[in-house]
Amino acid sequence: MHRQIEFLKGVGPARGEILRKELAIHTIGDLLWDLPFRYIDKSEITTIKAARSSPEPVQLKGIFSELRLEGSGHKKRLIATFEDGTGSIEVLWFQRIKEIEKWISPAKPYLLYGKLQDYRGRYNIVHPEIEELTQQKATQTGLEPVYRSTEKLDRRGIDSKGRRKILKQLFQELRPEELPENLPQNIISQLRFYSRYEAIRKIHFPASTEELHAAKNRLKFEELFFLQLLLLRSKVKRQESIKGFVFGEVGQLFNTFYAKHLPFTLTDAQKRVIKEIRQDMGSGHQMNRLLQGDVGSGKTIVALMCMLLAADNGFQSVLMAPTEVLAQQHYASISELLDGMEVKVAFLSGSVTGSTRTEILEALKSGETTILLGTHAVIQEWVEFKNLGLAITDEQHRFGVAQRAQMWTKSPIHPPHVLVMTATPIPRTLALTVYGDLEVSVLDELPPGRKPVITTQRTEAHRSKVNHFVREQILQGRQVYVIYPLIEESAKLDLENLQDGYERLLTTFPRPEYQISVVHGRMKADVKDEEMNRFKDHKTQIMVSTTVIEVGVNVPNATVMIIENAERFGLAQLHQLRGRVGRGADQSYCILMTSYKLSKTAKERLEVICRTNDGFEIAEADLKLRGPGDIAGTRQSGAFEFKAANLVEDQAILKTARLFAEDILQRDVRLALPEHHHLRMFLQNEYKYKQDWSRIS
């Protein structure tokens, strides 16, 4: 399978070079794994009359009755009339005109495949797939594969048709032993799979939809199974080999905080998660746990109580946040919660300099400081701890893997226990895939007294009612966010959008009766912080902002969130923004302002966000609407370059694959048994996900 592509019959050096450059196909293995993206059912032939009402591509059988050239230079085109007895259409070509003109013979039967378009009452197909209808073709049934291509490949005759020809030649030469089995025989028998050779041959040339489905299922399972096997194997090896500090003591600091400083009763979910973390940290193995908790579910309290457990056992802790605002917020809230307790807390970021920084670093090195909170500055090489035992990252998907890896260097004896937190709920399917080697804890309860945010969608026709509602809320002493979308391509347009909105609000809510804060991404950090603090301290009633407030603002008195042009936001982002209200005991509201005309996807997104406050339900909907590639943080994982599998559609296959992987590793973690020989050899020689960052969470 590692044979270079140019040595394959029908390819050669020139075509091989183009396949490399255009599609990154270097070897025969690459060619086999560049799977068809759709199939044409050759048994389905539509009449021109019936095809006119079809929104999908169709296959037509007929003859060309006329060919003519029109235009000149780059506007030159070949136009043909194609008819089948029920009607006629025009067929147009703008490229490869000379070649097609020579090839087509009037009155000979042809098969055409393409999508009909209505152009000024005349139906046409542009650049259809075309082949002469021979006696063999006339009786042929089955599915014909269609491959991705480019203009350069088409010019060299390696379009979809050319690729089929090359692959047919390859399968005539290819022996089954050249595609050796990689799954144990018991899995193949139990799940009634084709052999690996048969599955790959049938996915390229299926005789029926049933055969195609069976071949796809085999290859999907294979991809998901090996990913799960690697993740779970990594987890088992880490548990066996990487020792951790034993936090066996639940001491005075933890108990004092629980009895005297805890501001509210812990939810059952918080109690369960703390118990899970305590077991991990007392086991003698390094903890590597993901804590998922929706906005406002109380992750900070859980993190603090874990840091107090570390302190009771004589260890320091660090909590790293992605932005200075969020790190400052953690510092302020944790310092307030620990007020009166003998725990020294410090804050470190790039903006902390001079003698202040020197003092903080010395106190860390001596062990005087117990808890350090900060930005990625906390993992710089000049930061030394006396005995770091627990490392926590918040909104962890915003950090690169290599950044998080630096945490490990901060503790020379054993690596610190690792807790990664996210307020972006991750669907279980993705959690199994991206974080398959981590233990997962979920905070799925809101603290007592919190009321779900009421979310509604409104258009410009409701503007006066929305403004009236805002006045009422401000009269009751509440505060309001007004959010404008961030248009990545145009920071200038963002600012104009926000400025226009601000000026409209000044007209509706005039000074001095109302005060308005403004925050946007192009402000200097100190000005931005000042504006945020004015809102926090209740000196302003309304904050107008782009999405910079998405993470890091906690104003329990803010009860209204108005999101302008809400159709421009993704589901996860809408949910995160909505989480900025509903942080106190008062009823809160999120009003989604949209245009009248909405796309189908935008309507679906807004219906989901109005229907539910459940972050996990929203994340599942987001996965279905947008696909796995866009879910926060998954781009880093390297786990989504599947050729056959699709995480949205193949959740059942993923779960089955994980169960089989778990069963094998329970019995034979080193894959040393004879029946696991294929697995071991495939992982050693073929499997491409070799760089194992997973142990760093």
Q: What is the pLDDT of residues 28-55, one digit of tens each?
A: 988 999 999 888 887 788 899 888 877 7
Nearest to 609 by CA among 600, 594, 622: 622
- DSSP labels for 340-361? TSS--EEEE-TT--HHHHHHHH
Structure tokens at 34: 């560049």
Looking up tokens 């997973």, which residue turns up?
Answer: 694
Average pLDDT of 265-290? 91
The share of the chain scoring above pLDDT 90, in percent, equals 37
Nearest to 541 by CA among 556, 525, 558: 558
The CATH code belonging to domain 252-443 is 3.40.50.300
Residues with Cβ < 8 Å from 537, sequence gap 6 or more? none
Nearest to 51 by CA among 20, 21, 91: 91
> How far, in Å, CA of 584 to CA of 447, rounded?
10
Nearest to 341 by CA among 433, 256, 242, 440: 256
Its pTM stands at 0.67
Position with higher pLDDT, 396 vs 133: 133
3-state secondary structure of 320: strand
Is residue 664 within 8 Å of 229, Cβ to Cβ?
yes
Residue 556 banded pLDDT, cuts 50, 70, 90: confident
The CATH code belonging to domain 454-612 is 3.40.50.300
Neighbours of 156 (CB within 10 A): 16
> How far, in Å, CA of 182 to CA of 194, rounded?
12
DSSP-assigned beta bridge partners for residue 403? none
Nearest to 505 by CA among 522, 518, 495: 518
Q: What is the pLDDT of residues 603-641, one digit of tens each?
A: 999 999 999 988 878 887 887 776 655 444 443 334 456
Residue 690 banded pLDDT, cuts 50, 70, 90: very low
44-140 shares its CATH topology with 454-612: no
Q: Assess whether pLDDT exceeds 80 at residue 15.
A: yes
The CATH code belonging to domain 44-140 is 2.40.50.140
**Alpha helices, H only, 454-490:** 463-475
pLDDT reported for residue 682? 87
pLDDT reported for residue 99? 84
Residues with Cβ < 8 Å from 11, sequence gap 6 or more? 5, 19, 166
Q: What is the mean pLDDT of the chain?
A: 84
> How far, in Å, CA of 174 to CA of 419, rounded?
49
3-state secondary structure of 163: helix
pLDDT reported for residue 607? 94
Q: How many residues does the chain have?
A: 697
Structural domain boundaries of the chain?
44-140, 252-443, 454-612
Residue 426 banded pLDDT, cuts 50, 70, 90: confident
